[in-house]
Amino acid sequence: MPEAPKERTLVLVKPDGVRRGLVGEVVTRLERKGLTIVAARMVRLTRPIAETHYAEHRGKPFYGELVEYITSAPVLALAVEGRSAITVVRALVGATDPAKAAPGTLRGDLALAMTSNLVHASDSPASAERELALHFHDKDFVRYTRTDAEYV
């Protein structure tokens, strides 16, 4: 059976995750799974960046709340690589609604509200490409080999 392709995706530790001191927990779970963090940046998103990031939700009733929330405090932007990284990260993150997120997922274990649900994770290759380009430049990505690469 062929190996799953290596992908790169975006993870944002949202303002509630940063303010609650859960950045380390998010990073730990990503790394324990065998994913590689190839770029990281602590930033306070501007309104134009937030509006572009959430563009697919423009016009929906919750759009304004999303933009206000994501710009309310710093976020940690992470570029994460690994086999089937988009699917794997989405599984680690859990359902968008923390009340429906399975125990063992980040949202299932640590979040309670829809908007302040700890993390954002790209939901498709197209979203990952668009979102990574919004938050990082090519020069930001660092290549290295994890010592456990042959096992993950």
Establish whether 135 is a catalytic residue: no
CA–CA dist 115, 137 (Å, integer): 27
What number of CA atoms fall less than 13 Å from residue 36's CA on the CB side?
Answer: 18
Contact 52, 96 (CB under 8 A): no
* Paired tokens of 60: 């929906």
Instruction: Name the active-site residue from 57, 120, 135, 137.
Output: 120
DSSP-derived letter for residue 100 is T
Catalytically active residues, by annotation: 120
